[in-house]
Amino acid sequence: MVARASAGAYTAPPRSTFWQKLGPGGLATFLLAAGGSVLLLGLPVGWRLRRVLREAEGEPLAPADLILVLGRRLQDDRPTPVFEARLAHAVELWRRGLAPRILVAGGVTGQAALSEAEAGRAWLLAQGIPAEAVRVEDQSQHTLENLFHVRDTLRAEGWRDLILVSDGLHLARAGALARGLGLRVRRSPASDGPPSRGSLAWYRRAAQEAFLLHWYHTGLAYSRLIRSRRQLERVT
């Protein structure tokens, strides 16, 4: 079954550019976050970096209604090694009995002919996961939209708890977005995907995630300050 998409808040179109993904208030909050980082000599990003590294190990898990795999841009219409690592970790959790179903999230991005969610579903079925245990959310263009649309499905089905699967450095931001949307999540890292822990690429990714986390909190504070209902409905 396909997860329901919310009709209210802005959703970026398929194969969106960076600017299209920003949505209402996105450019203003991006400039605020970037400007604040420069003026404060990078201290806000450094503060968030500590959290990104601390939360990369995930947290203790408990049985849930759903395992959510966050998508990743495809390569030649197939999951990349990073995306495969996320999917493989979800399979492991499912086989351990931590949740009865897996939902893969991600729309059509880049030059792909199919959605990240459909490519992920095909990968899971090839690993022997029953079709009835797999759902997809195939309209979102980024992590926030993944979680926003999945929240609609949770509410419609009466489910409450989910295990969120992504690579470790993504977990701090994904967890913050999920909590902002009122979701009850436990985060579990897919540890086998690239880049290698401690490598230059790993630290570069950590710094990127730290800025994105800083941008999220800046945008949330700004939207509340100006009382923008249109902006807040995307993140709360």
Write out 21-72 in H/E/C secondary structure.
HHCCCHHHHHHHHHHHHHHCCCHHHHHHHHHHHHHHHCCCCCCCCEEEEECC
Q: How many domains does the chain have?
A: 1
Inside any domain, residue 10: no
Q: What is the CATH number of the domain that holds 143?
A: 3.40.50.620
Predicted TM-score (pTM) of this structure: 0.91
Inside any domain, residue 187: yes
Q: Which tens digits make up the pLDDT trace of 105-120?
A: 999 998 999 999 999 9
Q: Which residues of 160-192 are buried (b: 16+ CB within 10 A; e: fewer)?
A: eebbbbbbbbbbbbbbbbbebbebebbbbbbee
Inside any domain, residue 2: no
Beta strands 66-70 and 102-105 are parallel
Range of the domain at 139: 24-235
Inside any domain, residue 7: no
Inside any domain, residue 13: no
- Find the mean pLDDT for residues 119-135: 98
Inside any domain, residue 51: yes
Q: Which tens digits make up the pLDDT trace of 32-41?
A: 999 999 999 9
